[in-house]
Structure formats: C-alpha cells, structure tokens
Amino acid sequence: MSVEITERKQSAEGEARCPGAPTTQEIIAADRVAAPGWVRSESYQYLGDEDISTDRYIEPQYARMEMERLWTRTWQFACREEHIPEVGDYYVYDIGPYSLIVTRVAKNEIRAYYNACLHRGTKLRASGTLGNASEFKCSFHGWSWNVDGSNRTVVCPWDFPHVDRKKFSLPQARVELLGGFVFINMDPDAPTLSEYLGPAAKAHIDAWKLEDRYVYLHVSKRLPANWKLAVEAFLEAYHVIQTHPQVAVSNGDANSQYDIYGEHVNRFISTLGVLSPHLYGKHTEQDILEQFTLGDSGSVTGTKRTLDDGRTAREVMAGMFRGMFEKATNTDLSKVSDSELLDCFSYTVFPSLFLFPGISLPMVYRFRPDPKDHRACIYEVLFLRPVPVDGKRPEPAEPVHLRDEQSFKEAEGMDPGFGAILDQDTDNLFLQQEGIEASAKRGLTLGNYQEIRVRHFERSVEKYVAMPPKRPDWERSRKR
C-alpha cells in the first residue's frame, strides 16, 4: 500500500513538520496489519522556545539541589520483580547518597527499607548488592532486623532502656509495581504511581505487557557527562543522520513522532523500513531492504531479499520480523501490528527510566547521577525477552559493568551493530559536557517539535528543583 501524505497547514508555533515527508501516522496507516489505538494517536504540545539554561549541567550546587528535591520525590525504577522472586530476596537500589534494600517480605508484598542501621548508621547491605536474607544484621555491633522490618536484636539491651524495640522497625520508602518493574518513592506525600503517570500513559504501558518479559542482558557503564545530558542524548531521532548515518537508509528519522503525556511521561515513535527524509531521491526501496537485512548495523537476517510486485521494504520487513519472532518465541504474532513489530517506541518515565517496548528491540534504560561527580552518570541498558511459552522464567542476567574506555560491543551477548550505535550515542557526551562549560552562550536552543521531549524533561527537572528540600522523613517512614 502506498503512503498518503495529506496537506498540512503549518502556521502556529510547533505545528511545522518535516516538509515533503509522510508523518509517522501516515506511514503506520498504510501498514498491512493495523496498529492499535495507543499507537495511532498523537499527543504533542508546544511548550515554548526559550533556551534551556546551562547551569543545570555544570554547577555542583544544581546537582545537590536535584538530589534533595527531585530524587527524594519521584518514582524510580529500582529493580525488576524477577530480581527478587522469593521471600527474603533483596536488591539494593542506590540513588546518590540514598540507598534502599528492596525486598520481598511475602509472596505478594515487596518493601523498600532505608539501608542504614538504626544504632549508629552502618549500611546493612553494601550498595549494588543483591541476595537472599533471613535477617538484616549489622556488621558493626550486630543489631538485626527481620525480613518484615521488625527489630530482631539489640545487643546488650540493658544498656538501651531508651530504645523501644517496637518502634525500631526499619523505616520504609513507598513501593509500587507496574509491568514487572518495582518502583520506589521516598516521598510520603507523592502521588500514587498511577496518578504520577496519568491514565493515558499508564494505559500504554499496561498494553505492552512488560510483566511477561525477563532480563536477558544487563550492561552498565559510567558516562562522562551530567546525567541529564545522557538522558537527552536518547530523546530524539534528530541526531540520527549525523551520529548514526549507517541506519538512516532505513529509518524515518526527521519524520519521527513526539508525544507528551502530563508531567512525567513522553514518547517517540521512529519508523523503520522507510527512508530518512534527508536521503530522499538517493536510495530505492531495495536499498532500504538491503541495508536492513545485510547492513553492518542492525543486520537481522543476513539473507539477500529482492522486492517484487511493487511491495515496499517496510511491508517485506514486517513479514520477515513476524516470521522470525514467531519462531524465536513460539508465539502467534499474526495480529500484532507491523508498527509494533518494526518501529522504535521509546517512553520515558521521569526522571530515570526509558522503556523501549517494541518487539524488535525491547529494552530498558536507566540513568542515575554519579553522587561524587556531577559531570558523570551511570547508564544501564537492559534487554528484555518474552518469558518462554512453558512459563518458566529464566533468572535475570547479572549486570556486565563496562570500564570507561570499553566499547558497548565488548559486552558479551550484545549485538555488535547495536553496540556500535550505543558507542556513537555516548561518544559525543564528553564533548558536549566540555563544550557547554566552554561556551560563551549560556543556553541550549531546541527545535520546537523534534526536541520537545528534551524541553518536557527539563521542565519537570525545573519544577522539582524549585520545590523546597525534602529529606527522607524518619517519623513518617516508620509508620507505613
């Protein structure tokens, strides 16, 4: 089916779209297997065109304010449920100076304890660790707590008549579950996770059924830039033609779609199997197909296919993907739309989680600031796969920690073409961090449409940083 481009009026601010190219919705409307409503909708909003001030990326003071105002109030992905399947399993989630022991206390109950002894403060479990516990015992003087958080031992209780053990349960942060993700929030006054996401975005995330997937590869790497620059490197497809020219032949980059939902969620849809508008007139449908199937990046089949009887590369690729993933996952994908199979969908849940729920490249990103260096952050990429049809959930992959100088291609299990793309994405970051510090211009200038997710993200950063500081509350976190 050929793609219909409708005439568009582009008068008001933010209404302009890549001229002469079909929109994402027009591309999807021409697909053979139609997409569901949450794919076939748009939610763009113009949010102004002022520069984004650069002090937020370069001032240590700004990073401190984020730590005590933003990270203490927002919902954050701590771990997947499959990281802690059994009672007593725990996973230590660290964010800046804060640390939480996320643990399963009953089959259907997960809690997050502040990771600090109530005697003289020693961490009960080392940061970044996970395991199974029958109690959380302090390594200094031996006080201990049961898995349900109640106090188990005060050594030499005769010396602590002022300690009421009933009141010495481990304080807790809030926990909510969504799509197999365990979210925490340190703010007793925060909205519920559903309210935080809003009904539209929550319905999208529910529809992808991410609880039916498991982590089969987990890679982490320290990046040499402020965490917000790292997040923003993945919020648009505007950089594709310059940063990833090898994929532009089969990626609708300049005509990708950008949506915002409330204050905490945004998304893009970037179509695959179509030519970049930057390359119109330079490549054929056959080139698109060959780049995708034989190209050195994202090579999926290694088999040369020839387009016949006027079919488009996108149509053929959707069929190939359907067959390939049906075989790999032993499932029936005949009703799954071409778009869900092929396209790159990216949702962000402010501040740190990216969901890429599409079938061809299902991933999760997490970004966290380096608490000791505001010019660095920790980036993680987790690849998800459908749980096998026999229902037996494989153990989640252990994280592979890459050293600063290592390529993503070196992570065992990483597709080399995709590793090269991540290297390209992250190689610019140090230049950008240094450039912002060197610049005579104190603001970043953004495109009205293609960079709306950057503006939306920074608006939320500003909103939280403008609030008064909020530290975890000892009294209220004990009363959960």
Residue 387 corresponds to which tokens in the numbers above?
A: 């749980």
Least gap, CB of 154 to ligand FES (angstroms): 9
**Residue 351 preceded by cis peptide, ω within 30:** yes
Point out which span in 138-146, 179-187, 371-379, 432-440 binds ligand FES (CB under 6 A).
138-146
Residue type, 242: Q
Place of tokens 């034989």: 294
Point out which span in 92-100, 141-149, 233-241, 324-332 binds ligand FES (CB under 6 A).
141-149
Residue (134 or 192) nearer to ligand FES, CB: 134
Point out which span in 134-142, 364-372, 407-415, 421-429 binds ligand FES (CB under 6 A).
134-142
Residue type, 411: A
Least gap, CB of 139 to ligand FES (angstroms): 8
Least gap, CB of 124 to ligand FES (angstroms): 8
Residue 140: contacted member of ligand FES, Fe ion, none (CB under 5 to 8 Å, by partner type): ligand FES
Residue 261 β-bridge partners: 265
Tell me how far apart the alpha carbons of residues 123 and 99 are, in angstroms, rounded to a whole number. Answer: 9
Least gap, CB of 143 to ligand FES (angstroms): 4
What are the distances in angstroms from CA 427 to CA 146, 372, 404, 430?
Answer: 46, 22, 11, 7
Q: Is 141 in the site for ligand FES (CB under 6 A)?
A: yes
Least gap, CB of 239 to Fe ion (angstroms): 6
Residues in the chain: 480
Tell me how far apart the alpha carbons of residues 354 and 235 are, in angstroms, rounded to a whole number. Answer: 9
- Could you tell me which residues come within 8 angstroms of residue 435 by beta carbon, excluding any fewer than 6 positions away? none
- Could you tell me which residues come within 8 angstroms of residue 478 by beta carbon, excluding any fewer than 6 positions away? 167, 169, 171, 172
Residue (25 or 256) nearer to Fe ion, CB: 256
Q: Are 249 and 394 in contact (CB under 8 A)?
A: no
Residue (246 or 301) nearer to Fe ion, CB: 246
Least gap, CB of 141 to ligand FES (angstroms): 3
Residue (154 or 353) nearer to ligand FES, CB: 154
Q: Is 442 in the site for ligand FES (CB under 6 A)?
A: no
Q: Which of 39, 65, 110, 117 binds ligand FES (CB under 6 A)?
A: 117
Least gap, CB of 120 to ligand FES (angstroms): 4
Residue 286: contacted member of Fe ion, ligand FES, none (CB under 5 to 8 Å, by partner type): none
Q: Which of 138, 223, 265, 353 binds ligand FES (CB under 6 A)?
A: 138
Q: Is 119 in the site for ligand FES (CB under 6 A)?
A: yes
Residue (23 or 99) nearer to ligand FES, CB: 99
Give the x/- contact pattern for ligand FES in 60-99, rule: CB under 6 A.
Answer: ----------------------------------------
Residue (126 or 431) nearer to ligand FES, CB: 126
User: Which of positions 402-431 make contact with Fe ion (CB under 5 A)?
Assistant: 425
Nearest to 81 by CA among 220, 264, 265, 213: 213
Q: Is 120 in the site for ligand FES (CB under 6 A)?
A: yes
Q: Is 143 in the site for ligand FES (CB under 6 A)?
A: yes
Contact positions toward ligand FES, by CB under 6 A? 117, 119-120, 122, 138, 140-143
Contact positions toward Fe ion, by CB under 5 A? 425
